Copies of this chain bind each other. A is one copy, B any other.
Amino acid sequence: MLSKKQITFFNSLKLKKYRKKNSLFFAEGQKIINDMIASGLIPKYIVTTIENLSDQYPTIELITAKQNDLNKISNLKTSTDLFAVFEMPENYIDFNVLNKNLILFCDNIQNPGNLGTIIRTADWFDINQIICSDNTVDAYNPKVVQASMGSIARVNICYVNNDDFFNKIDKNIEVYGSFLEGENIYHTELKSSGIVVIGNEGNGISENMLKYITKRISIPSFSKNSLTSESLNASIATALICAEFKRRTEI
């Protein structure tokens, strides 16, 4: 049975500080957890209200819990019957292949739902590497994990200091940034590899990043109304850019 001590410990993993200290994070719900296990992540603990789950997870220490107690560690509004704690994968950047792939760079993304959705979308579009500025929300934040729908197990996510990273990469790598006055993405040349920088939700790409952008693109607004929304949600913009890069490679 789930002990009080365990409840305290699992709850501590809602905070980045304790996730980092223990190198652990958690996910909730059978679909997401099974998806993450299938993708190679190994749960350290599984807490569940379901009887006889040991057949399904023979090698994992199962902790049974009453719904009431599971609710105490859940981060969801409606808690599910399965809660799993995973070890953080040891992600790293392979600088040798950076110039061969399309990569996303999250520059100060703050909303966990946005980062999770960006990870899920990247996975869909076969983008396996996401680099985050060190002020971007933690990818192992429970809300990011849930919004990623398990994709966090398949996408390599690394945190860097922006200047350190961009000073280290091959100078031939195209670095794309989206700006209102950029070239219409549907009419401009796009390479099949490069880094797409995704700016902060409210402020866009940060000032000190501008010098690293080698190509300014824009997603055209099709509205004739001058009062139309002046921007797109960060994860929507990311998806539209990824789709256009990938659509081109297919044709």
Q: Which residues of A are interface residues toward B (Cβ below 8 A)?
A: 35, 38-39, 113, 117, 120-121, 123-126, 147, 149-151, 154, 186, 219-225, 227-229, 231-233, 235-236, 239-240, 243, 246-247, 249-251
Contact = CB atoms under 8 A, between A and B. Distances in A.
A228 B117 contact: no
Contacts of A246: 222
B126 A224 contact: yes
Contacts of A223: 123-126
B35 A232 contact: no
A223 B229 CA distance: 32
Given A113-B113, A222-B246, A228 B126 contact: yes
Contact of A222 (B39, B126, B147, B239): B126
Contacts of A38: 227
A242 to B, nearest CB: 9
Q: Sorted from nearest, which 5 A-B pairs have the closest CB atoms?
A: A126-B223, A123-B229, A126-B222, A222-B246, A236-B239
B113 A232 contact: no
Contacts of A228: 123-124, 126, 151, 154
Copies in the complex: 2
Contact of A120 (B117, B150, B224, B233): B233
A149 B229 CA distance: 7
A124 B232 contact: yes
Nearest to A245: B222
Contacts of A121: 232-233, 236
A229 B120 contact: yes
A113 B116 CA distance: 13
Contacts of A239: 232, 236, 239-240
A227 B35 contact: yes
Given A220-B250, A222-B125, A222-B246, A117 B227 contact: no
14 contacts: A39-B227, A117-B233, A121-B233, A121-B236, A124-B228, A125-B221, A126-B221, A126-B223, A151-B228, A220-B250, A222-B250, A232-B239, A235-B236, A239-B240
A82 B40 CA distance: 48
Given A150-B229, A229-B149, A236 B117 contact: yes
A251 B251 CA distance: 16
A97 B225 CA distance: 18
A23 B186 CA distance: 42
